[in-house]
Amino acid sequence: MSTLLRDTGTVFWRAMRLSLRNPAWLVIMMMQPILYIVLFGPLLEPIAGQLGAGNAYQIFVPGILVQLGIFGSLFVGFGLIAEYRAGVIESQRVTPASRTALLLGRVLRDVVVLLVQGTLLVLVSLPLGLRAPVLGVVLTLLVVALLGAAFASISYALALTLKSEDAFAPLLNAVVLPVLLLSGILLPMTLAPAWLQTVSDVNPLKHVVEGAREFFLGGYGTSVAWWGLGLTVALVLIGWVFGVRRFRRESS
């Protein structure tokens, strides 16, 4: 266990130093969700009451936070492909470092970055009119962290499998649009026609988004909130198993 913790810390600090040396991409990743909140959020204000919220940002901000957790981690695999091409992965293979730590250290870096971005996103939303209970915000940030861990693990595993941006990028683009439209991130699926709501019900991320919105509304005891959190934990387990197996196979 001590070896795993030591190796994880080493990989984490290396990855974190790389991120801090190039903070521009963190700023770029923040710009899109902020623009969504500033430019799209006010459009929901007329229907906020219809959606059971005191203001539109109680509905919109948790959706954008979930979007950040998903898409902010889905694209981390591009960095791993660059490391693979530069020989970093090959050099790590010949060390006695735990193969689990090689993934865990990177994923922890991604989770920390997402939590910082998510916190800044909430702070930006406050002067725009966001009113949400502190506990609800904290629970939603926990969901964001778990989603980040799940999708970062999947992204790294896919990157190691494909080893090419030319294959990785089209695969992500094929996933991003259906997820964005069928999860209710931008608009609650209750506004959609019945057939589209039925289709979206099979998307677990829709329930994650609805759970996050319940947290922002203070509905901590509702089945919707905890069903969403439970599905998030399930996604973490699936992503972690997939990622660890791929790293171990690559290093065997």
Round to whole Å and give the CA distance between 244 and 203. 24
pLDDT at 52 over 70: no
Joined together, the tokens standing for residue 107 give: 């994923």
pLDDT in tens, 198-234: 888 889 999 999 999 999 988 888 899 999 999 999 9
Residue 14 lies in domain? 2-251
Q: What is the pLDDT of residue 138?
A: 94
pLDDT at 178 over 90: no
Q: Give the Cα-Cα-Cα angle 147, 110, 70 (nearest 5 degrees).
A: 30
Q: What is the pLDDT of residue 49?
A: 63
pLDDT band at 110 (very low <50, low <70, confident <90, very high): very high
pLDDT band at 38 (very low <50, low <70, confident <90, very high): confident
pLDDT at 132 over 70: yes
Joined together, the tokens standing for residue 72 give: 């902010």
pLDDT at 166 over 80: yes
Across residues 11-27, what is the average pLDDT?
A: 80
Comparing 247 with 105, which gets the higher pLDDT?
Answer: 105
Q: What is the pLDDT of residue 142?
A: 95
Across residues 24-33, what is the average pLDDT?
A: 72
State the chain's mean pLDDT as an integer: 85
When divided into structural domains, the chain yields a total of 1
Comparing 20 with 138, which gets the higher pLDDT?
Answer: 138
pLDDT at 50 over 70: no
pLDDT in tens, 56-96: 788 889 989 999 999 889 989 998 898 888 887 777 777 77
Percent with pLDDT over 70 in the chain: 92
Across residues 183-205, what is the average pLDDT?
A: 85
Round to whole Å and give the CA distance between 113 and 149. 11
Percent with pLDDT over 90 in the chain: 33
pLDDT band at 53 (very low <50, low <70, confident <90, very high): low
Joined together, the tokens standing for residue 161 give: 């499998």
Across residues 185-199, what is the average pLDDT?
A: 82
What letters, b where the CB count within 10 A reaches 16 and e where it falls short, cover 87-125?
A: eebeebeeeebbbbbbbbbbbbbbbbbbbebbeebbebb
Burial class from Cβ neighbours inside 10 Å (0-12, 13-18, 19+) for residue 46 reads: exposed
Residue of 110, 99, 105 lying closest to 75 (CA atoms): 110
Q: What is the DSSP string of 8-47?
A: HHHHHHHHHHHHHH-THHHHHHHHHHHHIIIIIGGGGGGG
Residue 244 CB neighbour total at 10 angstroms:
17
Q: What is the pLDDT of residue 15?
A: 87
